[in-house]
């Protein structure tokens, strides 16, 4: 059974930082491209950041220079370090594992940026 479990969301003031964690089980983690997506109310789910099995990263333009994705294959974990948070970063953040035709999602964690 595949499970992706996110943690680390919460309420933060504008300009603050958060780190999201995603732990995976039931997959050969090292071969998967791991990603973070987000969905704000009334909007479509969008890609935030991805990291391939080889460590190549890709970011949405809106988060470049502020967010950093990383992975630890030994711990089956992927992280999203978020700095200089803005109110428009408010969303439910989802962890994704993707390999060929297999794609798995976590349950999501809420991030709210507000003063």
pLDDT at 101 over 90: no
Segment 60-73 mean pLDDT: 98
User: Could you report the per-residue pLDDT of 28-48, keeping only the tens digit for each?
Assistant: 999 999 999 999 999 999 999
As a whole number, mean pLDDT of residues 69-77 equals 97
Task: Output the pLDDT for position 105.
Answer: 98
Distances (CA, A) of 93 to 21, 31, 52, 69, 106: 10, 22, 19, 13, 9
Q: Cite the beta strand spans of the chain per DSSP E.
A: 3-7, 10-12, 18-25, 33-39, 46-51, 57-59, 67-72, 77-82, 91-99, 102-105, 109-113
What's residue 64's pLDDT? 98
If pLDDT is split at 50, 70 and 90, which confidence band does 1 have?
A: very high
pLDDT of residue 38: 98
The answer, yes or no, to whether residue 108 has pLDDT greater than 90, is yes
């Amino acid at each position: 059974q595949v499970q992706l479990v996110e943690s680390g969301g919460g309420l933060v003031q504008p300009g603050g930082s958060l780190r999201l964690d995603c732990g995976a089980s039931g997959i050969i983690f090292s071969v998967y491209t791991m990603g973070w997506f987000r969905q704000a109310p009334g909007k479509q789910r969008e890609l935030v950041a991805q990291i391939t099995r080889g460590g190549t990263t890709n970011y949405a333009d809106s988060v470049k220079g502020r967010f950093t994705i990383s992975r630890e294959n030994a711990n089956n974990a992927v992280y999203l370090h978020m700095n200089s948070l803005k109110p428009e970063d408010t969303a439910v953040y989802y962890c994704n594992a993707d390999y060929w035709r297999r794609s798995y999602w976590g349950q999501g964690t809420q991030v709210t940026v507000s003063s």
